[in-house]
Amino acid sequence: MSILIKKMTQAASILTLFAVLGAGLVAYSFQITQEQIKANQRAALLRNLNAVIPTNLYDNQLFNDSRQMQNEAFLGTPEPVMIYRARKGKQPVACVILPIAPNGYNGRIQLLVGINYDGKLLGVRVLSHQETPGLGDNIELRRSNWILKFNGLSLTNPKESGWAVKRDGGIFDQFTGATITPRAVVKAVHNTLIFYQHYRDEIFK
Ligand SMILES: Cc1cc2nc3c(=O)[nH]c(=O)nc-3n(C[C@H](O)[C@H](O)[C@H](O)COP(=O)(O)O)c2cc1C
């Protein structure tokens, strides 16, 4: 009987050891993966930042010169939104705002909007979305050049009514069979420009 108890205790100890080792391994690989995901996101963000703000425009460290601002009406989310500020010789030259287009076909579309100090768009990129492949994903630069249409535009170019897809009387193409996605992006970029116009001083403070 005592041999049986001893064997059972041994087996239980071995099982416990493997369970602890297994859990530790899972926790460790989860942490490594999380760090890798964060590093990849940061690298993608930096690539996109530099795609919309040419590096010769500024001499500060964008990642170290950021702030968050909250404005659901214009930035599309109740959460604070990241803003990166570009300066040259301490003078503000541009900023990059990361607003949300809340009403995509499949939910939120995260955008990156680069704006010159004078309010002209340097460029727009899509950071993440769940739009339908082959329909709504033409907002991605790797799928089409549609997003480049924003380059150089501002609140006065085009005028207010132009800030819409063509179907709604504006200047932006919709996609074949997919108007909801481009409509959401155009509205979010327009709102971001209005936000910038209102809060420029605070953005660079
Ligand atoms: C399965 C499915 C997925 C769709 N995905 C999108 C999408 O990602 N983006 C979009 O704008 N419209 C999408 N649509 C189409 C919309 O329902 C809607 O019909 C369209 O955006 C309206 O544009 P239209 O007037 O040019 O057809 C999808 C439709 C279906 C049936």
Residue in 106, 132, 138, 166 to alter for ligand 1 test, most ligand atoms within 8 A of Cβ: 132
* pLDDT value for 1: 63
Nearest partner of 198 among 74, 97, 107, 81, judged by Cα: 74
Tell me the per-residue pLDDT of 13-56, one tens digit each, with 9 for 90 and over.
888 888 889 888 888 888 888 898 888 888 888 889 999 999 99
Nearest residue to 50 via CA among 94, 109, 101: 94
- Considering the domain architecture, whether residues 63 and 147 belong to the same structural domain is answered as yes
The reply to whether 82 and 183 lie within a common domain is: yes
Residues 97 and 170 in one domain: yes
If one counts the domains in the chain, the total is 2
Q: How far apart are CA 186 and CA 145, in angstroms?
A: 14
| C-beta atoms surrounding 88 within 10 Å | 14
Cα three-residue angle 14-15-19, rounded to 5 degrees:
120
- Ligand 1 binding pocket (C-beta < 6 A) is 105-106, 131-132, 135-136, 174, 177-181
pLDDT, one tens digit per residue, over 165-194 is: 999 999 999 999 999 999 999 999 999 999
Please indicate, yes or no, whether residues 37 and 85 belong to a single structural domain of this protein: no
Same domain, 71 and 145: yes
Residue type, 18: F
Atom of ligand 1 nearest to the CA of 182: 11
- The model carries a pTM of 0.86
**Residue 35, CA atoms < 13 Å, CB-side half-sphere:** 5
Does residue 108 sit in the same domain as residue 42?
no
